[in-house]
C-alpha cells in the first residue's frame, strides 16, 4: 500500500508538472504571436491589436491584422503544433532521438512532390500543397516497404529513411538544376521553409490537418508511451501493438505532410521539440501535447527572430530553425558522447 501510494503521488506530481509546462508553453506561444501581430513595417500597439481581434478596431488596423498578419501567425502556430506532435510520434515509434520527419525522409519526400508539381507540371498554390502531401505519403509507404522484413525494426526504419532521404535530395537538386532560373529561385525559396505571405488557404489546410489528426494522437498517447518502451512491454500492458503503431504512424505522416504543404520543409522543429519538452517535464518521453506546444513556441519565436534578425529583411523562418537546429544537434551529439551512449 505504501509503494502504491508513493507511485500514485509521483504520477500525480508528474502529470501536474506536465500540465504546468504545457500551460507555460501555450502562454509563450500566445505572447510571441501577439508580439508578431503588433510588429512589422507598420507597428501597431498591442492594445490596438487586441481591440482588432475582438472586433473593435478601426478598418486600417483590421486590414493589417486580419488580412496580412493573422494568417501568418496562425500558420506558424499550427505548423509548430503539427511538427512537434509528428516528431514525438516518430521518436517514440523508432525509439531514437533522431527519428523525426526530417531524418526519416518524410519532409524531403514532401519537397519532392511539391517540386514535381512546381517544376514539371507548372502548378501552383493548392496544387503544390497537394503534391507535397502525396509526396510525403508515397515516401512513407516506400520507406516502410523497404524496411519491412518480418516486421519493421526501429533502427532499420531510420536507416532506410536516411538512405531514401539522400536519394530524394539528389533528385530534388536535379530538378532545380534542369529548371529555368526563375523557377529554380521559386523552388529554392519554397525548399527553405517559410511562413511569409501565407493566407487563409494555408490556415484552413494546416488547421484542418491538426483538428482531425491531433485528437487521434492524443487519444493514443498512452499507447505511444508504451511502444516507446518496446513491443514486449506494450503487449504486456494490453496495447494492440501493430494496430496502434499503424494508426500513430499514419497520423504522424499526415501531420508532417500538412505542415510541409502549408509552410515548406521547415527543419529541426520536429527533431528538437520532443526532447526539449521532455526535459521541461522531467519525464523520459515527451507527452504529445507538451511536444506540440513546444513546437508552436519554438516556431513562433523563430518567426519573430526571422523578422528581426536583419534590418529591413524578412528572412524565411527555415533559415533560423536550421541554424538553431544545427546548434541543438551539435549539443545533442556532444551530450550523447559525454554520457557514453
Of 79-88, 202-211, 231-240, 256-265, least confident by mean pLDDT is 231-240
Of 93-102, 207-216, 286-295, least confident by mean pLDDT is 93-102
How sure is the predictor about 298, in pLDDT bands with cuts at 50, 70 and 90? very high
Terminal C-alpha separation, the chain: 37
Q: Average pLDDT, stretch 222-238? A: 74
Q: Average pLDDT, stretch 142-151? A: 76
Q: Is the pLDDT of residue 5 over 80?
A: no
Of 65-69, 133-137, 156-160, 217-221, least confident by mean pLDDT is 156-160
Answer for the pair 247, 304: CB distance below 8 angstroms, yes or no.
no
Structural domains of the chain ordered from first start:
25-338 (1.10.3470.10)
For every residue of 156-185, which 3-state class applies, written as one string? HHHHHHHHHHHHHHHHHHHHHHCCCHHHHH
Q: Average pLDDT, stretch 174-183? A: 86
How sure is the predictor about 4, in pLDDT bands with cuts at 50, 70 and 90? very low
pTM, full prediction: 0.87
Q: Average pLDDT, stretch 239-248? A: 79
Q: Check residue 7 and give its pLDDT.
A: 43
Q: How many residues does the chain have?
A: 341
CA 218 – CA 210 distance, rounded (Å) = 11
CA 98 – CA 84 distance, rounded (Å) = 13
CA 62 – CA 34 distance, rounded (Å) = 14
Q: How does the average pLDDT of the chain come out, rounded?
A: 83
State pLDDT tens for residues 147-171.
777 666 667 777 888 888 889 889 9
Q: Average pLDDT, stretch 88-93? A: 87
* 310: helix, strand or coil: strand
How sure is the predictor about 2, in pLDDT bands with cuts at 50, 70 and 90? very low
Q: Check residue 122 and give its pLDDT.
A: 81
Task: Please report, rounded to a whole number, the percentage of residues in the chain having pLDDT higher than 90.
Answer: 20
* 313: helix, strand or coil: strand
Q: Average pLDDT, stretch 57-62? A: 82
Q: Is the pLDDT of residue 68 over 90?
A: no
Q: Check residue 9 and give its pLDDT.
A: 46
Amino acid at each position: 500500500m505504501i509503494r502504491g501510494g508513493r507511485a500514485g503521488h509521483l504520477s500525480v506530481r508528474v502529470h501536474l508538472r506536465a500540465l504546468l509546462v504545457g500551460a507555460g508553453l501555450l502562454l509563450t506561444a500566445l505572447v510571441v504571436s501577439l508580439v508578431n501581430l503588433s510588429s512589422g513595417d507598420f507597428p501597431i500597439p498591442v492594445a490596438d491589436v487586441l481591440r482588432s481581434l475582438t472586433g473593435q478596431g478601426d478598418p486600417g488596423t483590421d486590414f493589417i491584422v486580419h488580412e496580412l498578419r493573422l494568417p501568418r501567425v496562425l500558420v506558424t502556430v499550427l505548423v509548430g503544433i503539427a511538427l512537434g506532435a509528428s516528431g514525438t510520434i516518430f521518436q517514440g515509434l523508432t525509439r531514437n532521438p533522431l527519428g523525426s520527419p526530417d531524418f526519416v525522409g518524410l519532409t524531403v519526400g514532401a519537397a519532392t512532390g511539391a517540386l514535381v508539381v512546381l517544376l514539371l507540371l507548372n502548378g501552383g498554390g493548392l496544387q503544390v500543397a497537394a503534391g507535397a502531401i502525396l509526396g510525403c505519403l508515397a515516401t512513407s509507404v516506400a520507406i516502410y516497404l523497404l524496411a519491412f522484413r518480418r516486421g519493421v525494426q526501429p533502427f532499420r526504419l531510420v536507416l532506410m529513411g536516411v538512405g531514401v532521404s539522400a536519394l530524394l535530395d539528389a533528385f530534388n537538386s536535379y530538378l532545380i538544376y534542369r529548371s529555368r532560373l526563375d523557377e529554380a529561385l521559386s523552388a529554392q525559396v519554397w525548399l527553405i521553409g517559410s511562413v511569409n505571405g501565407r493566407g487563409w488557404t494555408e490556415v484552413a489546410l494546416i488547421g484542418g490537418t491538426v483538428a482531425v489528426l491531433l485528437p487521434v494522437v492524443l487519444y493514443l498517447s498512452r499507447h505511444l508511451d508504451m511502444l516507446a518502451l518496446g513491443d514486449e512491454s506494450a503487449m504486456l500492458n494490453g496495447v494492440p501493438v501493430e494496430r496502434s503503431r499503424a494508426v500513430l504512424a499514419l497520423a504522424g505522416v499526415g501531420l508532417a505532410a500538412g505542415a510541409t504543404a502549408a509552410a515548406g520543409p521547415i527543419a529541426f522543429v520536429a527533431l528538437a521539440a520532443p526532447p526539449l519538452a521532455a526535459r521541461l517535464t522531467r519525464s523520459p518521453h515527451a507527452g504529445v501535447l507538451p511536444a506540440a506546444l513546444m513546437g508552436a513556441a519554438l516556431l513562433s519565436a523563430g518567426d519573430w527572430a526571422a523578422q528581426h534578425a536583419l534590418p529591413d529583411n524578412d528572412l524565411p523562418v527555415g533559415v533560423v530553425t536550421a541554424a538553431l537546429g544545427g546548434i541543438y544537434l551539435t549539443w545533442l551529439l556532444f551530450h550523447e558522447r559525454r554520457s557514453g551512449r
